[in-house]
Structure 1
């Protein structure tokens, strides 16, 4: 019997009755229904998030605004909680429902909402606390109920994280704009200070130049006053000597004047004595008169001399008194000149210190000017528009630019390779519930094991191909998934179905109904090791090892590469592994058929537990 004849005989057996036809059609539809319904239900769940009920509790009481009256000035108070609530409701990411805390707790417990988000009373005050002396973080409370839905908890966590990021960006932008405005004010102050420092530097340089001239003048003054002090001291010494000499002269003059005065005072008595003596000598009056006439001019001259002597003595006395005064004044002059010389020396020292100090001041002022100028250059000039843009950049500095080497259009398309591959296995497994793995008549007739094996494989493989074409139609037409390489994807699905048919055939040939059960076990193993949802690297080590051995993971990977436009070389390697499994399973089945043609046991004649 040839292979087509054996296939035709099996198909006639399957369609021999109305119930047989119904059963065959139903089993052919199993993978179509399984894959189609599951992917339809999960085609784009994110688009349904706006229908997910979430309780929103806003207890925020607001806080004083920290705005300093910059452009776009804020009101006196802010209420970030209300702002967040308005943004959430307008964003329509979920079905946000405003509730009180008690209502939200009841709704979460009853399953009326999937999670609750609470903005506490101190939310705004915490956000504005960074401007005060008690900064602390704001808090958003998330409450979930895994008894309602575990994934809702993950959704709530992601939602709150997005709220946190948006609030941080909003508050960070406002804080950054205030900071930048303050820096702009600082820059303006630095510009003014730099101008003042320039004027200070110019004035200090001028003062330093004047202090140098002053120091030179005070040095000369100190030298001159020192010389003056020396001369004044010499003058004082000379004046003292002159005063002493004049005093001696005055003493002599006084004695001489006294003697002359005594002589002048004695003239009348002397004239009388001379007259008496002449009378006693017997001179006549005429002779006495002639003698007296001779003496009287002498007396007159003596009297004149006495007058001049007394005048000279007075002059000498006055000279002596003046010399004493001069000597006293010269001494005072010498003392004052010494004081002046000392003061001039001190003034010279002070002028030198002033010169050095003003030089230091000029140098420091220049450094201050340069530092302020550098500070001005390090703070760039800005405008209100630029500061707003800078604040937005500071609050949200990183923009994620994403690109995909290969892209699945939505969540359902992302799961399609996994569930299509799994549907192929389920479809083949279901077919083997009614399809006989091998023809026992052919074995009894000792037909070729190769023909028997091929006929036993081609029948479910052909029916599996019909299943895959139907599933492909559901994915491409009904669900509208986009296929980068539709024919290649269909080819992988058909090859996968044929490979799975060979594997389950081999299990049935060798183990009968136990092999059919092992086909179910293999399906479960591949369900968890194929890496259809989470990356296979997240699996425990033993299961991760099975990922590299079992064929379903290679089917999933090949479909991804062809459906999304990925790496064709990877798809080629996956197909090579599938071909190895196909050939190996057929060879293993053929060996089993060969064994059965050469040796029959009573177990081979027993009916299958499955049918």
Structure 2
């Protein structure tokens, strides 16, 4: 004991100094915790108010709302952490007060031990008693120091989060400042543009305003104009009924005239000569019919034609074509050909588009329309009687010439076959 007295004295002095340091920091920690909680709470409330004014209560949110929200959240986290630290401090306030008293006692006893240590050998019993008391105080100090260490760890974490949040807050504030400058510049440009636009708005008088109101209320007006107007109902239907009468004339003519001359067939004449001999008389009758028909229509009924000579000449070609077609059907099919002539007339009347546009007819008649001669005759007569371009007229002439040539060729072929007698011709199954 004599040899270790100095060491004990030094150790006791160190313990006393350490207890003083711990007591000093404990006082600072107890005092700072409520202030940290109050400061972080006020910062969080301030940021919440800024965020509500600029982002939640505005029709057009501030461009820096995202950064403000991050800063607001970071401040709220920091406030919660400092609140937790302060709660720990308040919850253990009694223990810390007792710990402070124990530290005072420890410090006093340690200093007393340091003074008495050199004389321990002289008063060993008293030193043992004081060492026991010191041991008990040290145990209490260790327990309080553990609690303090835990609280300091929590405070350290909260302080780090608070530092991070403050950094984010500073960054968001910088961005907000830049955004405010941009907003000010944009507002100035907007004000200037509105001012310039207001200067460019014309000052209309009442008459101009009424006129523009009428235009806005009725911006589109429809104007209709007739091209090549037909003066009456009969003029509009003439292109339909004229070819009908010519077809019926050819059909009746071949009821009276043989399509193929029997004497020429018996004499062995050429097929083309026989076909032309049966066609020319009916074509001549058709020419006379056309002249009589157009005379009655023009002078008796009052039909006015935009191209009278062209109409008459075109009808001569029409009657020649119809005569050739009717001749072939009668020559090829005999008595049954008359029924086919009537059936073909019905098909032409329903698909020619003479009474209404053919596009409104069923698909069957739309398909037949381009393959029947009367379709072209009706369209051409409309241009010749009421006026218009001659493109459809020349097309109709080419089609009718092709039908005429084809029908005469088929009639010549039928005449060639008629020159050969068969049992069917000697004993026909049907005769009219």
* TM-score normalized by the length of structure 2: 0.50
Structure showing the higher helix proportion among its residues: 2
Give the structure, 1 or 2, with the largest relative contact order (CA under 8 Å, sep 6 or more): 1
* TM-score normalized by the length of structure 1: 0.36
